[in-house]
Amino acid sequence: MPDLDLDSPWTLHPQVSVRPEPFGALLYHFGTRRLSFLKDVTLLTVVRGLAQAPTARAACLAAGVSDSELPTFERALGTLARSSMLIERPPAAAEAPPSKERNA
């Protein structure tokens, strides 16, 4: 399976709980009962930033991931996506045009 697309929006699955630890974090999926270890504090920062970032790449860059480190983080995020810890978010809806009020 290919790695996660860094240029798509991603977020934690709603059934995933994150418990920070000194080494990174534990992720527990209540639906699948899977446990994942994040062994890097920067990866935890990326995962936490996914919901607010427009893309996974943007979350990585905001967390201080360098261009040379991106492939490593892409693989780690891909592993989390394949284990259902992360899900792809639908793209943000285009801003709706303002409604015109009619005077009666």
Question: According to CATH, what is the number of the domain 10-86?
Answer: 3.90.930
Q: What are the sequence ranges of the domains in the chain?
A: 10-86
Whole-Å CA distances, 31 to 26, 51, 78, 84, 104 = 15, 20, 19, 9, 53
The pLDDT score that the predictor gives to residue 90 is 82
User: In this structure, how many other beta carbons lie within 10 angstroms of the beta carbon of residue 51?
Assistant: 12
The model's confidence at residue 92, banded by pLDDT at 50, 70 and 90, is: low
Task: Give the tens place of pLDDT for each residue, 17-69.
Answer: 999 999 899 999 999 999 999 999 999 999 999 999 999 999 999 999 999 99
The whole model's pTM is what? 0.83
- Which is nearest to 7 in space by CA: 88, 97, 104? 88
Helices in 1-104 by DSSP H: which ranges?
41-49, 56-62, 70-82
